[in-house]
Amino acid sequence: MRISAEIEQCVLEVLKTGKLAQGDTVKKLEFAFSQTSKTKHSVAVNNGTTALVAALESVDIGENDEVIIPAFTFVATLNAVLLRGARARIVDVRDDYLLDVEQLSVLDTSSTACVMPVHLYGQMCDMKRINEISENSSGFTTVEDAAQALGSERDDLRPGAHGLACYSLYATKNVFSGEGGMICTNNHEAADYLRILRNQGMRARYDYQHIGNNYRMSEIHAAVALPQMALLETITNQRAEIARRYTENLRGLAGLLIPTVHEETRHSWHQYTIRITSDAPFERDEFVQQMRESGIDVGVYYPRSVHDYDIFREHPQIVVESDDLARKIASEVVSLPVHQHLTAANVERVIETVHELWHR
Ligand SMILES: *Cc1c(COP(=O)(O)O)cnc(C)c1O
């Protein structure tokens, strides 16, 4: 990641104050997140995984509660549920890589306490529909894994409009602090609980309300992220422009599926992820190898469905509802470089290299 002069400046200012924790910079970052997410509250924590675990705790999700998660996501989503002692009920995704909301609507969710939609690669799940399903059922809460989706919107909803949304500021995210996380919500009680939880369970000094932990973000981390928040719109637009050029130029190659983007969606393009299907002239892994040999930094996120590992296979807290498409997708996905520092020539070369591989 590139560190701008502005970031350097902001970090240096914090260092010069000598106040490296519990100062104003974290508060400013929280304010910037509340503005972006249009939520009343933002609570900074030390990473995105902590954000997920703490968010679940703040809405009282714990032992024996059932939490629905998608079969295709980063392991942190699953770990957060398991760490809370809850049961993870795994539901398949669709071709847009997102939780299958149609399936959710026909499942018996009478014992579901929480649904964790993951806005994978930066495209939001259909939160409007998920909220409707919640209203028409026993009423589960939602904790959105928005780690990749800062700047996203769908149907005029941003993550955290209902329930809670968790962001990550890990070094590779669109806006980063190195390590960091944020929880955005309009739920006053949950936000209040989280502010206390992250600080040893204290409301005021030595006024312990419940068992807490130290989940606080440092001032230095906040100073890395803060200047980027003002540029979020620009960063997102630059990524969207690169994505547009890929889509325009890669459409129509046999066995290469470009990403499905919904209408009324603002995609944050954390990743531009294509699929290499059996109609392609080669398999995904060969494509990855060829691209890397040409010096193009492609990635596979993620090579398996989330629970498809030995330690999770017979896990008593995991129930697999469906995962067929997730397994297939995991064997086909490749993400092309889409970050805002790519030049037009870089993007051109990615497109040319793909075409060369196809027409060899
Ligand atoms: C990055 C990420 C996380 C975890 O965030 P950390 O800050 O690395 O703990 C969780 N879920 C998804 C989908 C992510 O991409």
- The 10 Å CB-count burial string (b at 16+, else e) for 42-76 is bbbbbbbbbbbbbbbbbbebeeebbbbbbbbbbeb
Sorted by sequence, the CB contacts under 8 Å of residue 202 that are 6+ apart come out as 196, 208, 209, 212
Q: Model-level pTM greater than 0.85?
A: yes
Ligand 1: residue whose CA is nearest its atom 5: 48
User: Do strands 318-320 and 87-91 pair parallel, antiparallel, or not at all (unpaired)?
Assistant: parallel
**The pLDDT of residue 279:** 97
**The pLDDT of residue 2:** 85
Cα–ligand 1 centroid distance for 55 (angstroms): 14
Say yes or no: CB of residue 150 within 6 Å of ligand 1. Answer: no
- The 10 Å CB-count burial string (b at 16+, else e) for 253-269 is bebbbbbeeeeebbbbb
The helix/strand/coil state of 254 is coil
**What is the per-residue DSSP string for 123-149?**
PPP-HHHHHHHHHHSS--EEEEE-TT-
Taking the CA atoms of the chain, what radius of gyration do you get in angstroms? 21
Sorted by sequence, the CB contacts under 8 Å of residue 263 that are 6+ apart come out as none
Pocket test for ligand 1, best of 69, 170, 179 (most atoms within 8 A of CB): 170
Instruction: Say how far apart CA 351 and CA 107 lie, in whole Å.
Output: 41
Q: Is there a contact between 45 and 51 (Cβ–Cβ < 8 Å)?
A: yes
Cα–ligand 1 centroid distance for 152 (angstroms): 16
Ligand 1 atom nearest to CA at 80: 10
Say yes or no: CB of residue 42 within 6 Å of ligand 1. Answer: no
Dihedral (CA of 166, 22, 179, 243) sign: positive
Say yes or no: CB of residue 168 within 6 Å of ligand 1. Answer: yes
Say yes or no: CB of residue 176 within 6 Å of ligand 1. Answer: no
Cα–ligand 1 centroid distance for 345 (angstroms): 30
Cα–ligand 1 centroid distance for 147 (angstroms): 5
Nearest CA among 7, 6, 44, 9 for reference residue 26? 44
Q: Distances in Å between the alpha carbon of 239 and those of 98, 107, 135, 246?
A: 20, 36, 35, 11
Say yes or no: CB of residue 74 within 6 Å of ligand 1. Answer: yes
Q: Is there a contact between 66 and 87 (Cβ–Cβ < 8 Å)?
A: yes
Residue type, 304: R
**The pLDDT of residue 296:** 97
Ligand 1 atom nearest to CA at 181: 7
Say yes or no: CB of residue 181 within 6 Å of ligand 1. Answer: yes
Residue type, 44: A
Cα–ligand 1 centroid distance for 88 (angstroms): 17
Q: Which residues of the chain have pLDDT under 70?
A: none
Ligand 1 atom nearest to CA at 51: 9
User: H-type helices in the chain, by residue range?
Assistant: 5-17, 24-37, 48-58, 75-83, 101-106, 127-136, 188-197, 219-229, 232-250, 284-293, 310-313, 324-330, 344-358
